[in-house]
Chain A
């Protein structure tokens, strides 16, 4: 057991994956000597060399496009996109190429590429450094999309993603990089929660909170506050957005009868819309109130001095919980 930050857990996970498989490569801007702007790849180039930890030219389309080529040649590239807002120059390669080659080749081609994206706001950054672009990628068939929320998951999920034969878009909640927890780095990978399974991170019987990535911690705090007022909220960390572990979700909502979805991305056409629709379909007769969503507004991510108003916080989550009970 060691106590690791989420960032260090990712670093340790990457290191393990590189040790276990010489085909694993790390690529991106500043991932070498600097260890990435968040230091997630810290020390990897020193230990694995410049051939396996590659500082790339400053070109996201180039990074993902060449990772595709390397994967076609048998490598397992893990690419880092420096910030969420800079994945869009690579969106073409991810959406039109990476996602579709397996199907187009009738299964002959395998593209085990992991695209790591530090995501979300709350760090006082300038424009384009606080985005939540998950919906663009969950909308694209052929990609697996996952989001970690805590150090243990970060450690296991990055390794599971690298091991996956499919392309994985891997979201890292940047404002949680410094959160610490115990991580058993000696655990048998067979004992890890499977990559595409959601986790009930706090059981409760009165309503279900659904979240992923950075919002999980906020939801846990909200559930703590609600408990003081006698409401037991169940909190589910989805972990995987595509595929979605709908069974864990519906089991919960069928018990509680109420559900609030929380994410940082704008609510309109956000991932919560998919959840709400699916839950409505599957739990219609058990629902006591409509599935509510709490998230960003239909505006661009605001300047940092008012980002706290944009990000779902305890009050906005509890307000939504109140509304589900008032129905």
Chain B
């Protein structure tokens, strides 16, 4: 390659849509890929469909709750359900997941109660679940930070000497297209590569980082970055739950057996606003949204189920009813969430006694009590 060819017209990330692994077309047709065989029974497919529908419903409910002032903020996953359910269901119990703040579908796969997610966005706490219990780390708001934690965690797994044995677990780190610009993410690629860490980097390229299009982060397709760091990168149709499942499964298995890191770029689209405080009409064209609507991740699974006579109207109704039930209960539980006690802000800050904090806590307790005295 000459310098000129490098400098020439950039391989713009949007123009090129090469080597997109797809196992299910937008029309619901199953296609085979030589490297990613996937053997799913009807029951499995129905299970994935159920996951997709339920997480979309939960997400919609959370958006509604935010509009009604019950949550301070919500980062919607609308449009990204397949990327999250596919990759989330690819992970096994021993694997460890490091999410951003938008991985509600992955959280669902890891059995994290949706109410816990809502609690964080409501301002009840900054986390709320036990990452060890679920193999699902805390949400990370600072863009890219978690990719380094994930890499270090994977290095720990490697050091335990379990790779290649049945008890080996891989690590999977989630992040967005915007995050790929951060130093931390690039540093995590370096560490993962030179230490051959058992990790899968799962980038949901939803095309936008708030108002900034992918072209503001990269001039080459993101999956191609991996090569420069020395490990494989692969682009998958992020709206195809089968492809996300198959590709992530293989990447995780490679990690577990000591074959090192993989970058999976799930090519998808953020159908909603970045968060409930964002206004995408300021920067995004309606036509783009319309085009992506046709690639809806749920509709294509539905079409596949119908085509193959794997589900009838009764099944779809049942899933619908279940989703409604779950969200109704979720809403009620959310509204019933009590505010934390003011003094709880002093809890869990340190593992050992900390005299200054104890002093402040006691003073603040006395101060709060003085109001109760006055009220008497």
B216 x A57 contact (CB < 8 A): yes
Within 8 Å CB of A175, what residues of B?
none
Cβ proximity bits A44-71 to B, threshold 8 Å, 1 near / 0 not = 0000000000011111011000000000
B217 x A58 contact (CB < 8 A): yes
A299 x B357 contact (CB < 8 A): yes
In the complex with contacts A58-B143, A124-B72, A299-B357, A89-B182 CB distance below 8 A: yes
Which of B84-92, B120-128, B240-248 forms part of the interface with chain A?
Answer: B120-128
Complex alpha-carbon distance, A128 and B144, angstroms:
14
Of all chain A residues, the one with the shortest Cβ separation from B361 is A297
Complex alpha-carbon distance, A125 and B101, angstroms:
14
Main secondary structure of the interface of A (DSSP, over half): loop
Give the contacting residue for B212; candidates A30, A129, A305; CB below 8 A.
A30
B121 x A126 contact (CB < 8 A): yes
Complex alpha-carbon distance, A220 and B183, angstroms:
42
Complex alpha-carbon distance, A300 and B141, angstroms:
15
Q: How far is the CB of B313 from chain A (nearest CB, A)?
A: 41
Within 8 Å CB of B124, what residues of A?
303, 305
In the complex with contacts A85-B142, A300-B349, A124-B123 CB distance below 8 A: yes
Within 8 Å CB of A309, what residues of B?
342, 345, 364, 368
Within 8 Å CB of B179, what residues of A?
58
Give the contacting residue for B123; candidates A89, A300, A303; CB below 8 A.
A303
Most A-side CB within 10 Å, residue of B179, B211, B340: B211
Give the contacting residue for A125; candidates B73, B283, B368; CB below 8 A.
B73
Within 8 Å CB of A180, what residues of B?
none
Within 8 Å CB of B211, what residues of A?
30, 32-34, 55
Q: Is B344 an interface residue (CB 8 A)?
A: yes
Give the contacting residue for A319; candidates B73, B178, B181, B367; CB below 8 A.
B367
Within 8 Å CB of B341, what residues of A?
306
Q: Is B167 an interface residue (CB 8 A)?
A: no
Give the contacting residue for B125; candidates A33, A37, A88, A303; CB below 8 A.
A303
Taking CB atoms and an 8 Å cut-off, the chain B residues in 68-97 that contact chain A are: 72-73
A30 x B210 contact (CB < 8 A): yes
Q: Is B286 an interface residue (CB 8 A)?
A: no
Cβ proximity bits B272-283 to A, threshold 8 Å, 1 near / 0 not = 000001110011
Q: Is B20 an interface residue (CB 8 A)?
A: no
Q: How many residues of A contact B (CB 8 A)?
A: 40
Complex alpha-carbon distance, A56 and B120, angstroms:
29
B339 x A306 contact (CB < 8 A): yes
A297 x B364 contact (CB < 8 A): yes
Complex alpha-carbon distance, A319 and B369, angstroms:
13
A62 x B181 contact (CB < 8 A): yes
B142 x A34 contact (CB < 8 A): no
Complex alpha-carbon distance, A62 and B212, angstroms:
16
Of all chain B residues, the one with the shortest Cβ separation from A310 is B345
Within 8 Å CB of B141, what residues of A?
85, 126-129
Complex alpha-carbon distance, A34 and B210, angstroms:
9
Q: How far is the CB of A2 from chain B (nearest CB, A)?
A: 24
Complex alpha-carbon distance, A216 and B91, angstroms:
51
Give the contacting residue for B345; candidates A57, A58, A297, A315; CB below 8 A.
A297
A126 x B72 contact (CB < 8 A): yes
Taking CB atoms and an 8 Å cut-off, the chain B residues in 143-162 that contact chain A are: 143
Within 8 Å CB of A315, what residues of B?
371
Within 8 Å CB of A37, what residues of B?
210, 277-278
Cβ proximity bits A183-220 to B, threshold 8 Å, 1 near / 0 not = 00000000000000000000000000000000000000
Complex alpha-carbon distance, A62 and B210, angstroms:
18
Q: How far is the CB of A111 from chain B (nearest CB, A)?
A: 21
Q: How far is the CB of A325 from chain B (nearest CB, A)?
A: 16
A57 x B181 contact (CB < 8 A): yes
In the complex with contacts A125-B73, A298-B360, A305-B339, A29-B122 CB distance below 8 A: no
Taking CB atoms and an 8 Å cut-off, the chain A residues in 3-62 that contact chain B are: 29-30, 32-35, 37, 55-59, 61-62
Within 8 Å CB of B320, what residues of A?
none
B356 x A268 contact (CB < 8 A): yes
Cβ proximity bits B198-215 to A, threshold 8 Å, 1 near / 0 not = 000000000001111000
Q: Is A304 an interface residue (CB 8 A)?
A: yes
In the complex with contacts A33-B283, A61-B183, A127-B141, A302-B345 CB distance below 8 A: yes
Taking CB atoms and an 8 Å cut-off, the chain A residues in 70-105 that contact chain B are: 85-86, 88-89
Q: How far is the CB of B247 from chain A (nearest CB, A)?
A: 25
B282 x A33 contact (CB < 8 A): yes
Q: Is B61 an interface residue (CB 8 A)?
A: no
Taking CB atoms and an 8 Å cut-off, the chain A residues in 129-187 that contact chain B are: 129
Of all chain A residues, the one with the shortest Cβ separation from B120 is A126
In the complex with contacts A58-B143, A126-B121, A126-B141, A306-B340 CB distance below 8 A: yes
> Which 10 pairs across A and B sit closest by C-beta, in order of nearness?
A304-B123, A34-B211, A57-B181, A58-B178, A302-B345, A309-B342, A305-B123, A33-B283, A59-B181, A124-B72
